[in-house]
Amino acid sequence: MHENEVSIPGDERFFVRKGPFSLQQLAKAASAEIYISGKSCGHEGGDHSAVVITGVAPLQVAGQSEISFLDNRRYLSLLKSTKAGVVIVAPAFVDQVPESCVALVTEHPYLAWANVAALYFPFSPPNPGIHPTAIIAESAHIGSGVEIGPYVVIEDNVKVGDGCFVGSHTLIAKGVSIGKNCHIASHVSISHAIMGCGVRLYPGVRIGQDGFGFAVSPNGFVSVPQIGRVIIEDGVEIGANTTIDRGSVQDTVIGAGSRIDNLVQIGHNVKMGKCCIVVSQAGISGSTELEDFVTIAAQAGLIGHIKIGKKARIGAQCGVMSDVEAGSDVIGSPAMPFREFFRNVAALRKLAKKPTN
C-alpha cells in the first residue's frame, strides 16, 4: 500500500471540488490584500490579475495552480520553499513568500483559509428524502428538505426542522425537538433534548441519557430519577462518541456556538455559556457552570458545582477543584495560574538536582 506517499487534499472519492477561482475571488473570500514580490497590489492583483487557481494544497506539495496557507511559525521553512501559486499569510511573513508566489495578506490567515477552502469544498447540503428503512413515528414532524438515512429510528412527537440531515442508524427518542439545518451523523442517540438550529453532532454522540446520580442506602445505591433535559443552543458542534447527560432536576445546557471535541464527558446540570471550546477527552462534572468563551483543553477535568469565569482558559490535563476567575489561565492538578505552574516545575527540578538530595 502506497496510498500515504502522496497526500492530496480533496480526494475526489470523498469530496466534490468547486472552482477554479480567480485571484480576485480568493482575495475577497480571504478578506486579504494581494502582495506580489512583497509589494501590495490592493485587491486586483496587478500583473497577476488573470491568475486562476484550481485547488488547495499544503505548502510542501502545492503547485503553481494551487493555493496554500501558513498559520504556524513552525512551518516557516515550508513557506520559503513552496511552489504554490498563491499563499495566505500574516503580514509578518510577507517577506518570506517566494518570488514566484502571490501572497494574500491578512491579520487572520486561518480564518481566511477557512473561507477560501470553503469556496472549493463547500459543506454539502442534505439530499432531501427519507430512506424507506427509516422508522418514523406518525406523530413525528419532519420539516421540508430533510434527508434521513437508512435504519434511522424517530420516535413519537419528535420534531426535525427544515434542512436537517440525519445519518444512518441514529435514534431520536420521543419528544426530542431539533431546529433547522442540523447535521446529525450516524449512530447517534438523542433523548430528552431540545436542540436549536445549525447544530452538528458527530458519529456516536450520546445525548440525554441519565446522569450519574444515586444515593447511598443500607441496601446499596438508589438511583435518583433524572428529570431534567439537555438544551443545545444554535450552532453547537459535538464530537464523536462524546456523552452529554441530561439534567437531574435542572437542565444541562450547551451555549450557542460552543465547540465540543471527541470523547468529552459533560455531566448532568452543567451550564455552558456561548462559544465555549472543550477539547477531546476533557470532562466536566455535574452542575458546574462555564461562562461565555471559556476554553477547556484536552483531558482536563472539572469537579462539580464550580464556576468558570468568562474567557478563562483551562490547560490540558488540568484538574480544577474550585472556581476559576474570568480571564485567567490555569493549568496543573490541582489547577493554578500558568506562571505559578511553570515556576513550580522549575523550582522542583532545581531542588531535585541539589547534591544534598
Catalytic residues: 268
Binding flag, residue 259, a second copy (CB under 8 A): yes
Task: Verify binding: residue 25, a second copy, rule CB under 8 A.
Answer: no
Give, as ranges, the residues between 77 and 106 that touch a second copy (CB under 8 A).
none
Classify residue 346 by burial, with Cβ atoms within 10 Å: 0-12, 13-18, 19+. Answer: exposed
Q: Is 11 in the site for a second copy (CB under 8 A)?
A: yes
Residues 115-144 that bind a second copy (CB under 8 A): 115, 117-118, 120-123, 133, 135
Using the rule CB under 8 A, which residue among 92, 95, 305, 327 binds a second copy? 305
Beta-carbon count within 10 A of 331 CB: 22
Cell readout for 18 is 468547486
Could you say whether residue 235 binds a second copy (CB under 8 A)?
Answer: yes
Q: Find the shortest distance in angstroms from Cβ 37 to a second copy.
A: 26
Binding residues for a second copy restricted to 323-342, rule: CB under 8 A: 333-334, 336, 340
Measured distance CA(99)–CA(90) in Å, rounded: 16
Is the CB of residue 73 less than 8 Å from the CB of residue 80? no
Residue 62 CB, nearest approach to a second copy (Å): 10
Residue of the chain from 52, 76, 92, 346 that contacts a second copy (CB under 8 A):
346
Go through the chain and tell me how many residues it has: 357
Q: Does 10 bind a second copy (CB under 8 A)?
A: yes
Q: Are 104 and 112 in contact (CB under 8 A)?
A: yes
Name the nearest CA neighbour of 194 among 244, 144, 242: 244
**If binding is defined by CB under 8 A, does position 214 make contact with a second copy?**
yes
Cis, bond preceding 334 (omega within 30 deg of 0): yes
Q: Which of 103, 253, 270, 296 binds a second copy (CB under 8 A)?
A: 253
Count each helix (H run) and each strand (E run) in the chain, helices first. 4, 41
**Subset of residues 147 to 186 that bind a second copy, contact rule: CB under 8 A:** 149-151, 153, 157, 167-169, 171, 174-175, 177, 179, 185-186
- Find, among 195, 185, 170, the residue nearest to 126 by Cα: 185
